[in-house]
Amino acid sequence: MNTATKLSAYGVALALVAGGAWAVGSAVGPIKSEATNEGAAHGDTHSDTVAETQQVADLPAGLASSRGGYTLAPTSTTLTTGTNTFTFRITGPDDKPVTRFDVEHEKRLHLIVVRRDTAGFQHVHPEMDADGTWSVPLTLPRAGSYRAFADFAPTGGEATTLGVDLSVPGDYQPSDYQPSRVATVDGYEVKLEGDLVPGKTAELDLTVSKDGQPVTDLQPYLGAYGHLVALRVGDLAYLHVHPDGEPGDGETKPGPTVTFFAEVPSAGAYRLFLDFQHGGTVRTAEFTLATDGHVPAQPAPTTGHADDGHGHN
């Protein structure tokens, strides 16, 4: 399997998410005209339009709420602490709601939601009504600014990732994370081996054990033995990859090690989230890793979370 097929069809590139960005204009900032005074006198906005179109086209996936004619349009971007019903539409080039989507990894749309300090990670799957309105319950226990990424492939179109910011008013208490290659969740221990290398494809091996014994019977979740999301600390650069091989291919073993191939574009610290399923429950292991591979001499295990009925539906 080549590197391209190892990357998720709906998350092959990093989205360098600017804080507070909702629409394309606010995400990329104003575009200065390079037109001459003569061009301006004639009202020529062609060069500006071309420059803006090119700049948007060059943006990594997930940075903007609009791209390629498609827009992520939430009913509201302000939610409350507790359980909310988050609703949104994907509108197309004709400004009408899109209602036809290809199935990618067993779902027509994948929604990743995380607070901007990388707390409260959720990977959920909304349901769509006949009019193109998607809805999903989101439990947001703490106040803050969240980022929602919608990964989808409109029928007849290209795989697309759009992002939008959500606000939960209240007393914001940011979380801090120390580098760690070991995560514990619900009695499971997951160890990460391998380094992130800017601009190069790197192999990451994640090994799952329980009570000191290797787990060799991982269960498929969304057509794979694991799903890995990487978020760059500071701007939430986004990468979603799937493991090498797939269940039932005659070669891929169901554990204890799940291998991923990922590429990050720059140096920095990254938060990694591994979804895996065992015993009928989806769990998420969390890691913090710098591109130079540095971790403390005695890294403290990072606690992940198990499926609470809202994080992996």
Closest residue by Cα to residue 59 from 101, 102, 8, 18: 18
CA distance 107 to 132: 15
What's the pLDDT at 256? Answer: 98
Domains and CATH numbers, the chain: 3-168 (2.60.40.1930), 182-306 (2.60.40.1930)
**42 has pLDDT over 70:** no
Sequence letter at residue 104: E
CA-only gyration radius of the chain, Å: 20
38 or 84, which is more confident: 84
Residue 34 has pLDDT above 80, yes or no: no
Residues 223-276 have pLDDT tens digits of 999 999 988 887 787 888 889 999 999 999 999 999 999 988 788 899 999 999
Write down the pLDDT at residue 231. 85
279 has pLDDT over 50:
yes
Q: What are phi and psi of 118, to 5 degrees?
A: 70, 15
More confident residue, 241 or 278: 278
Mean pLDDT of 124-143: 97
Predicted confidence at residue 240, as pLDDT, reads 81
